[in-house]
Amino acid sequence: MSMWDKNKVGCILLDKKLAQPFNKGAKRTHKPAWDELKCTKCGLCYLFCPDAAIKEKADGFFTSDADYCKGCGVCARECWFGAITMVEES
């Protein structure tokens, strides 16, 4: 019986190119919207996004990549500062 730390990591996309064939953006009903007045640039949203769909902008704030974001809302849930709101896809 193998120990847990010997198992390969599963269910995590370490590279957003791996999500490309799934075209998750096409099925999204909601998308994250950032309030940069509330954002502290802590990067938690970037770390927690299960699809590696959040990218850091040149100014240090974050945004989602519409091709890879599936609209799950994890980023909004994990942001301690309420800087992300899920809004309906237009």
Q: By the criterion CB under 6 A, which residues form the site for ligand SF4? A: 32, 34, 39-45, 49, 51, 53-54, 62, 64, 69-75, 79, 81, 83-84
Closest to ligand SF4 by CB, 5 vs 31, is 31
Measured from the CB of residue 72, what is the shortest distance to ligand SF4 in angstroms?
4
For every residue of the chain, which 3-state class applies, written as one string? CCCHHHCCCCCCCCCHHHHHHHCHHHHCCEEEEECCCCCCCCCHHHHHCCCCCEEECCCCCEEECCCCCCCCCHHHHHCCCCCEEEEECC
Q: Which of 3/54 has CB closer to ligand SF4?
A: 54
The least distance separating ligand SF4 from the CB of residue 2, rounded to whole angstroms, comes to: 31
Whichever of 7 and 29 has its CB closer to ligand SF4, that residue is: 29
**Minimum distance of ligand SF4 from residue 5's CB (angstroms):** 26
How many degrees, rounded to 5, is the angle at CA 20 between CA 34 and CA 16?
A: 55
